[in-house]
């Protein structure tokens, strides 16, 4: 059932009715939802509930609460103080053709999600915002067909993941973007006390003012990652290199092209650091400083 609502009270009634009936409705928000932050609401239904922020809707997004088996689409304009989505213990969520912007690369955050399982980020456009997609203790994420650009800080920042796929997307950091950090990164991860498992980065275009794909080991554990595949990406590095992997077991880095951002002279590189084992590092092309860089095909 398609349901249109134009105020938060009617939205809550429609959502409650849909969840109780198990119909799997599509509810479209119109008008002023600026102050609607349903932090104490449980969005969990038997069939997938779809919430669409229409072009004329002014909504900051979802803060707190719990949701599962839900899809979000449309355009969300978060405040400068809170993320567009901040939630814990969520599952089976689709972010489909969702645009998130704060209209200021120095302010705001797209997502801060923890203990999140089975999330699909499909064709997202995140732009003109300080921080992008951030996750903690998560399982089974797929981020694909995305365009993340004009950021003040990290585009994708993840910590303690199992089964992460980032593919067929574009991340762009023009040098004129406003930032409060010197070296924002492209796709950055931090390892947990136990190894992160099954990381796939493939067919992405990453243009960063700082580093491209960085798998770090801040906790200095013997094996930070198991089963890492970084293949067929174009990575344009800024001031801190292109692809860096720390302490990974079973790591494949093949078919990548790395370049130096023309605004910098730090040589692009692919570095497998620490105690990497079972390594397949071949078929990559490291282009020298000054090589013309290709344009992305998206956006």
What pTM, to 2 d.p., does this model score?
0.89
Q: What is the pLDDT of residue 150?
A: 84
Concatenated DSSP letters of 97-118: EEEEE-S-TTS-EEEEEES-EE
Per-residue model confidence as pLDDT tens digits over 171-191: 886 432 222 233 445 677 767
Least confident of 2-6, 50-54, 58-62, 133-137: 58-62
Per-residue model confidence as pLDDT tens digits over 9-60: 898 888 888 878 878 889 999 999 887 766 556 666 677 888 899 999 988 8
Distance CA 237, CA 270 (A): 10
Q: What is the pLDDT of residue 198?
A: 96
Distance CA 182, CA 166 (A): 25
Half-sphere exposure of residue 299, counting CA atoms within 13 Å on the CB side? 21
Distance CA 260, CA 252 (A): 22
Does the pLDDT of residue 100 top 50, yes or no? yes
Pick left, alpha or beta for residue 115 (phi over 0 → left; psi -120 to 50 → alpha; otherwise beta): left
Per the CB < 8 A criterion, the answer to whether 161 and 190 are in contact is: no
Q: Which residues contact 114 (CB under 8 A, 6 or more apart)?
A: 87, 88, 89, 135, 136, 137, 138
Per-residue model confidence as pLDDT tens digits over 210-242: 778 888 887 888 999 999 999 999 998 877 778
Distance CA 264, CA 261 (A): 6
Pick 183 or 167 by higher pLDDT.
167
Distance CA 26, CA 15 (A): 9
């Amino acid at each position: 059932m398609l349901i249109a609502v134009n105020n938060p009270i009617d939205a809550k009634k429609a959502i409650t009715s849909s969840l109780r009936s198990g119909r799997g409705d599509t509810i479209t928000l119109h008008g002023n939802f600026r102050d609607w932050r349903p932090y104490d609401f449980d969005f969990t239904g038997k069939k997938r509930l779809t919430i669409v922020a229409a072009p004329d809707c002014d909504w900051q997004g979802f803060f707190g609460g719990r949701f599962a088996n839900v899809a979000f689409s449309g355009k969300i304009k978060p405040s400068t103080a809170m993320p567009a989505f901040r939630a814990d213990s969520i599952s089976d969520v689709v972010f489909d053709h969702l645009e998130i912007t704060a209209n200021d690369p120095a302010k705001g955050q797209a997502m801060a999600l923890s203990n999140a399982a089975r999330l699909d980020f499909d064709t997202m456009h995140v732009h003109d915002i300080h921080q992008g997609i951030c996750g903690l203790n998560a399982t089974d994420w797929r981020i694909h067909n995305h365009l993340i650009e004009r950021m003040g800080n990290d585009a994708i920042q993840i910590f303690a993941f199992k089964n992460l796929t980032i593919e067929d997307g574009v991340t762009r950091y023009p040098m004129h973007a406003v930032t409060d950090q010197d070296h924002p990164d492209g796709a950055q991860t931090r390892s947990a006390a136990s190894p992160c498992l099954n990381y796939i980065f493939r067919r992405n275009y990453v243009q960063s003012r700082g580093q491209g794909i960085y798998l770090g080991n801040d906790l200095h554990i013997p094996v930070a990652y198991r089963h890492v595949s970084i293949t067929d990406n174009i990575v344009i590095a800024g001031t801190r290199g292109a692809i860096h992997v720390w302490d990974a077991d079973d790591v494949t880095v093949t078919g990548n092209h790395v370049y130096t951002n023309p605004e910098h002279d730090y040589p692009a590189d692919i570095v497998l650091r620490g105690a990497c084992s079972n390594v397949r590092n071949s078929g990559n092309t490291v282009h020298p400083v000054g090589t013309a860089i290709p344009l992305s095909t998206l956006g």
